[in-house]
Amino acid sequence: AEYQGVKREAQLWKPKTYGELWDAYQKTWELLYGKIKILTRDEQDQAVDVLLDNSRGLSRIPKLTDMIITNITELSTKPYGNKEKILERVVAILHYDGKELQAETKQKWEKLRDDLVGSDFSSLMRRYVGMDLLEDSFDEDGNRVDKVDVPIKKLAEQAVGDPKLLKPELDWLVTHEAKSGYRFGNELGQQDKDFSLLPMLLNTQRKVSRQPNSSDYFIGGYLRVLFEKDKEKWEALLDDLTKDEKLASWVSDLTWRSGMSDRAALRVLELAKKKVITVGHFRVFGLGSVIRDLSEDIFKKWIDFLLECPEEHAVSIALDLYQFFYLRKESKHKLPENLTLKLLTHPSLFKKLSEGRRNQMDDFHWKEIGNKFIELYPGKSLPLAEVILEHLGEDGSILEEYHSQTQEVIDEIARRYPSEVWDIVAKYLGPPIDSRAFHIKEWLRGSEHSSAGVSGALAFFPPEKVWEWVDADIKKRAWYVAYFVPKILFRQEGKVCWAREVLAKYGDRDDVRKEMGSNFYTEGWSGPASQHYQQKKEQLVSFKESEENENVKRWLDEMIDSLDKQIEHEKIQEERRGF
């Protein structure tokens, strides 16, 4: 429409009947299916995806059902037809639409499914170990079931009974192709009573040592059983693996998948110190609660190591592990004072990363740990406040974002130690107003989105401390404080209306009244501007009725006059726009 102008609109085709629409679907399907063989491989993959993505909906049209089943069946025999994707789609059709399908149609889909699955060991492995389908976890009524439990048990039983069946499958079992590899590996371990298959599995894992598609998923499930049944043998095995040039780099991930102990944690730490594994390998231990039973002394060694690492993301991993280990509900460990402060004030948190972005959970973990630290060690929180205010709003730091949840930490410290925190604020507040001073000013001023609310963080501080700071240099600071005080006007016993108090004390100065006006107009709203300004005017008129201070009344009169002009201007503009 933007570019149509006076040109006549194109008469696009519109079907008059469903029959015409279905004919169009059929022609489009036939066109795409007929051209697949001459497309490039990438284009063939895309074409197959398009056909499969639309097969479920189109196959419900009676006229198209046979064509689609026939074409999908043919597609499964072609080199460009991905059997796994086709099987996924057929399983989905039978699962979600099975009850509504005609008996003959359902039988055709079931035959295609059974042909794709096959009945030999290798085919069944590909179906139940190579795939992980949502439909296998629910029946047609949406009830939780486990359709693969029996097949996987049978496959594991066959593999243990005749290892020759398993051997040809191992090459893909140690890759990401084995989407249910962990489950099969675990069942294999359960049935392999003396773990006789272990040497063969390790040899296969050794062959794919850190290749792009390699995975420890399968063998991790197998070793989980060894951990549960014979922990000492498991420990000895992993000790041996650290000396294996091809398998040493897998030890960390295998530990996470199969089991955790103090000895295992020290083993992982030693591998990291030797640079056999990277700092990034510690990240996975934040998942799955595997570190919950570590002794605190061993856990602290991990954190000490991470905090000494030069890698920028090491402290992010430390925050994740720390928050889980100490702050989960079931934790019996008390947050340690010195190590926690070292973590919260780590230099890498307060500078821009050389590349990439911070983990999106860093500020949450930091905030949670910080608040708990203040609760346990309130007397030690001022050094933390110093670091926060020194870096507030610093580009790329954990305190960068406006209204970040990390501000909750400095809010809490300010509530507990208002005088001491104000002394720190005063050092950095300016003027001159640099980036840090600007962010401190915004924090003091507050907003509906900030952690301190519209009252701002200024509400935490004793008025006498603020006036003392202003009076030390009235010329430079009186106008400045007028700009960042919370702009709300109110009368409530026990609370300070900062905007009124500033006007009462310094409102005889033109620059103060001017900046307070700028503060008052800094806002956003929705709806007609004239109505918005009318409401603001009414609030000021109401506030003036009980006001006695001449400085305050002078500013109110100036603002009411300004609003009258603004309201008149906005009404003219709204009338022109047809409001």
227's tokens: 């951990």
Cβ–Cβ contacts within 10 Å for residue 350, how many? 18
pLDDT at 579 (0 to 100): 72
Indicate whether 210 belongs to any domain: no
- The percentage of residues in the chain with a pLDDT greater than 70, rounded to a whole number, is 98
Cα dihedral 485, 486, 492, 493 sign: negative
Indicate whether 373 belongs to any domain: yes
Indicate whether 125 belongs to any domain: no
Quickly state the pLDDT bin for 2 (edges 50, 70, 90): low
133's tokens: 């389908």
* Separation of alpha carbons 579 and 564, rounded Å: 19
- List the beta bridge partners of residue 175: 214
- Amino acid (1-letter code) at residue 528: P
pLDDT at 523 (0 to 100): 86
Indicate whether 447 belongs to any domain: yes
Largest CA distance in the chain: 98
What are the distances in angstroms from CA 134 to CA 54, 139, 144, 543? 19, 10, 11, 63
Helix axis angle for 463-471 and 418-428, nearest 10°, is: 30
* Separation of alpha carbons 289 and 46, rounded Å: 40
Q: What is the pLDDT of residues 198-254, one digit of tens each?
A: 999 999 999 998 788 999 999 999 999 999 999 999 999 999 999 999 999 999 999
The reply to whether 470 and 380 lie within a common domain is: no
The reply to whether 466 and 448 lie within a common domain is: no
Q: What is the pLDDT of residues 377-398, one digit of tens each?
A: 999 999 999 999 999 999 999 9
Residue pair 74/37 in contact (Cβ under 8 Å)? The answer is no
* Separation of alpha carbons 308 and 323, rounded Å: 18
The reply to whether 416 and 492 lie within a common domain is: no
Q: What is the pLDDT of residues 322-352, one digit of tens each?
A: 999 999 999 999 999 999 999 999 999 999 9
Could you identify the residue written with the tokens 């530990």? 255
**CA-based Rg of the chain, rounded to a whole angstrom?**
34
The reply to whether 429 and 471 lie within a common domain is: no
| Complete DSSP assignment for 554-571 | HHHHHHHHHHHHHHHHHH
Domain ranges, residue 558: 462-579
The reply to whether 497 and 444 lie within a common domain is: no
Indicate whether 13 belongs to any domain: no
Indicate whether 347 belongs to any domain: yes
* Separation of alpha carbons 97 and 84, rounded Å: 20
The reply to whether 444 and 498 lie within a common domain is: no
- Indicate if the pLDDT at residue 455 is higher than 70: yes
Indicate whether 502 belongs to any domain: yes
Peptide bond into 431 cis (omega under 30): yes
What are the distances in angstroms from CA 502 to CA 460, 493, 511? 16, 18, 12
Q: What is the pLDDT of residues 173-201, one digit of tens each?
A: 999 999 999 999 999 999 999 999 999 99
In the listed set 404, 438, 455, which residue is the last one of a domain according to the structure?
455
| Complete DSSP assignment for 47-90 | HHHHHHHHHHHHTTSHHHHHHHHHHHHHHTTSTTS-HHHHHHHH
Looking at the structure of the chain, the number of domains it has is 2
pLDDT at 371 (0 to 100): 97
In the listed set 436, 455, 474, which residue is the last one of a domain according to the structure?
455
The reply to whether 397 and 367 lie within a common domain is: yes
* Separation of alpha carbons 351 and 399, rounded Å: 10
Cα dihedral 187, 190, 194, 195 sign: positive
- Indicate if the pLDDT at residue 111 is higher than 70: yes
244's tokens: 């294996």
* Separation of alpha carbons 173 and 171, rounded Å: 6
Segment 48-74 shows an average pLDDT of 96
Task: Tell me the whole-structure pTM to 2 decimals.
Answer: 0.85
The reply to whether 382 and 413 lie within a common domain is: yes
Cβ–Cβ contacts within 10 Å for residue 143, how many? 8
- Indicate if the pLDDT at residue 13 is higher than 70: yes
Question: DSSP class of residue 405?
Answer: T
Indicate whether 548 belongs to any domain: yes
Average pLDDT, the chain: 94
Number of H helices and E strands in the chain, helices first, is 29, 0
